[in-house]
Structure 1
Amino acid sequence: MVSIIIPAYNEEAKIKDTIEGIKDLSCINEIIVVDDGSSDNTFEIASSYEAVKTYKLDKNMGKGYALNYGLKIAMKNSDVIGFLDADLGKTSREVEKLIYPILNNECDVTIAKFPPAKKKGGFGFVKKLAKSGVKFLTGEELDSTLSGQRVFKKEVLKEFNEIPFGYGVEVGMTIDIINKGYKIKEVLVNMTHNETGRNLKGFIHRGKQFYHINIILIKKILRS
């Protein structure tokens, strides 16, 4: 039983294509869309699909809350659970590349490795910090520790009371998964989604990421 959880906030422009990309994949048994209090037509579009279980939160609670809401539903019956962003469009279909290594028991967790960004973003400081932090604390060298497109065996998710998403928390979760003895595999996918550019908004976002990843790494170093 494979479930895919899609948290969505004001994604009326992309949610239809994102669902279209995965709704006919034979390896997926359940699609759960959690509308995070959108003010547009995201919920109406998602709920128009009979094959999609759609839920709407009363107000915007953040991606982490929406994911955990969906996770409580998926954990009841699923053996394999994946997280996808709502803005992937039809490239969401690439998630099957993340699912099959789990089904074939090649690993316990897969993480999507995106192709190089089409537009200039930051200067790579956040990515380098995340990569070096994971290497220092686990000995493993991963390139995509910031990616939110992931598929898990249920037993891995049971290790966490809830999924702590936020700026850079994926990095902390990756470290915990490896140190608990689970195997992570990065999979190259041809996915695309909204990118943060080299502008004020983009630099503020990356600054927050850098700060929070630093805090997480310092805490884990002090505990080790």
Structure 2
Amino acid sequence: MQTINLKSNSKTLFFLIHGYTGSPNDFNGLPEYLSKNLAVDVKVMLLKGHGTQVQDLDNIKLKDFTNQIEPELKADLEKYEQIILGGVSFGAQMAMYFASKFPVDGVFNVCLPYKLKFPFNLPGLSILSFFKKYWEKPISNQEKEIRKQTFYYKQMHANGLKIVKKANKLLKTELPKINCPVLTIYSKNDPIGNYKAIGYISRKIEAPHYIKIVDNKNHNLFFSNKSSEIYENIRDFYKSISRETKKEENKIAAIIPAYNEGQNISRVLDILTETDILNEVIVIDDGSTDNTSEVVSRFKEVKLLKNNSNQGKAQSMQQGVENTDAEILFFCDADLKGLTPEIVEQIVQPVVKRKYDMFIGVRNNVMQKAVTLFALNSGERALRRELWNKLPEHFKYRYRIEAGLNFIAKRQGNGYSWQKFEYYQTLKEKKYGFLKGTLLRWWMNIDVAYAYLLTVFQRLKD
């Protein structure tokens, strides 16, 4: 058993690290897939104590692995213009650790054992190594069948639990130092690692974080019926972070639906046009009968779209999405007070960094401060176009839109989060008068309630 080294005369190298008691074969067909589809160089190191017999791991320590990987990575950083680190299981720990230490361009981790499952999480379990060093691996029959032609140790080494726990202690302090984009792929029913560790990892990592959770029982997803899907996830991750596509992926458009907001909208546009993080500002005049369009047209850098009749908030937002190629969408109401460029950036940045697929700005209104459920229907939110595209059409109707987005975001990818800010919205009763404003408010509340009812039916359907 030797290091895998595939050459394509590329300036990009995928530097891959296999698992403890595994081998360079741990990635199954990934090296060949990357070499063929991306025309990149691929290296999978053979770690010390591997490729022979499990007894050769008896005296191996974590430091032996870090001392082996570091000089190899340093040498490759001088040879290549771009390096993507990757690892599976213990190799994922090492990939993440070295991504915090060296200026690599990206890192992916598959089935990172950051939070261990029972019984591996029992305190003092490593004491059993004095009585029994080798344990049979919890490998499914499906994985054993796929692995028939590959080399790996059939046993787990008790020493490995100590090494994995020490590696996790390292990661606890080093994760915030990762500056490159990260792809995390977890097996939902992994017998060793708990996929719920994703939440902790995501909070620690400040860099863009892509997450994929696979419904599978294997610890090594490269030897499952999902392997082709995992190959594609890694390929797409590389394409999304390549230097040529970084700018396009993070293009941000502000979209503001407006109906009879001539008295308020200039205040909001003054802020949005001063916000450096935004690449584009789009206003949809939803059939206004006042001077909304006239006010907007004074802002030469703002794109103005007009509806001949009132279509409703959700349809106006859809029009805004259809008239931009931005991958990140910042939706904003037109009647806000106290909004600042700093607030806009704080709402958008968690989505830019891929900590979440959607982030909501909660206003300093009485109702929103009192009831979180109402607060999360706030109109100020940043999200990825891919999340918007997953939203069923029955939610794209007037005021159902925010509840629908919350529902989809919670069930997809990186989910959503929120934060309260010191800005607020003009009350409908103040804008339209007490009677009309109250009627509009109840109309909105009924629409939102119906949206929540739709989410119940959607859950039953799924």
| TM-score, normalisation: structure 2 | 0.40
- Give the stretch that moved more between structures: 16-25 or 172-181: 172-181
Equivalent position to 1:79, from 318, 327, 334: 327
In the TM superposition, what are the counterparts of 1:180-195 in structure 2 within 5 Å? Answer: 180-195=412-427
Q: Shift in Å at residue 90 of structure 1?
A: 5.0
- Alignment of 1:110 onto 2:341: no
Name which structure has the greater RCO, CA cutoff 8 Å, separation 6+: 1
Match of 2:388 in 1: 157
Amino acid at match of 1:98: I
Q: What do you get for the CA RMSD once the two structures are aligned?
A: 2.7
Query: Deviation per CA, 1:122-148, whole angstroms, max 9, x where unpaired?
Result: 9x7xx57xx4xxxxxxxxxxx733112
Alignment CA distance shift 1:207-1:37 (3 Å): closer
Q: Shift in Å at residue 207 of structure 1?
A: 5.0
Cα separation, 1, equivalents of 2:339 and 2:447: 25
- Contact 1:146 1:168 survives alignment (8 Å): no
- Contact 2:361 2:418 survives alignment (8 Å): yes
Query: Deviation per CA, 1:58-84, whole angstroms, max 9, x where unpaired?
Result: 11111111111111012x2x1211110
- Give the stretch that moved more between structures: 206-215 or 17-26: 206-215
- Give the stretch that moved more between structures: 15-24 or 152-161: 152-161
Gaps of 5+ in 2: 1-250
Match of 1:223 in 2: 461
Alignment CA distance shift 1:214-1:23 (3 Å): closer
Cα separation, 2, equivalents of 1:44 and 1:150: 26
Gaps of 5+ in 1: 132-142
Q: Shift in Å at residue 177 of structure 1?
A: 1.8
Q: Shift in Å at residue 16 of structure 1?
A: 0.7
- Contact 2:328 2:382 survives alignment (8 Å): yes
Match of 1:138 in 2: none
Q: Shift in Å at residue 89 of structure 1?
A: 4.0
Q: Report the structure number with the largest CA radius of gyration.
A: 2
Between the two proteins, the alignment pairs up a number of residues equal to 203
Match of 2:267 in 1: 17
- Contact 2:313 2:399 survives alignment (8 Å): no
Cα separation, 1, equivalents of 2:418 and 2:275: 21
Cα separation, 2, equivalents of 1:22 and 1:103: 17
Alignment CA distance shift 1:194-1:205 (3 Å): farther
- Alignment of 1:173 onto 2:405: yes
Cα separation, 1, equivalents of 2:419 and 2:292: 29
Equivalent position to 1:64, from 310, 314, 317: 314
Match of 2:442 in 1: 204
In the TM superposition, what are the counterparts of 1:2-41 in structure 2 within 5 Å? Answer: 2-41=252-291
Q: Shift in Å at residue 170 of structure 1?
A: 2.0
Cα separation, 2, equivalents of 1:216 and 1:52: 35
Q: Shift in Å at residue 196 of structure 1?
A: 4.9
Q: Shift in Å at residue 116 of structure 1?
A: 4.1
Cα separation, 2, equivalents of 1:30 and 1:210: 29
Match of 2:34 in 1: none
Cα separation, 2, equivalents of 1:42 and 1:92: 21
- Contact 2:354 2:414 survives alignment (8 Å): no
Match of 1:146 in 2: 377
| TM-score, normalisation: structure 1 | 0.78
Alignment CA distance shift 1:42-1:116 (3 Å): closer
Match of 2:12 in 1: none
Alignment CA distance shift 1:102-1:180 (3 Å): closer
Cα separation, 2, equivalents of 1:214 and 1:107: 22
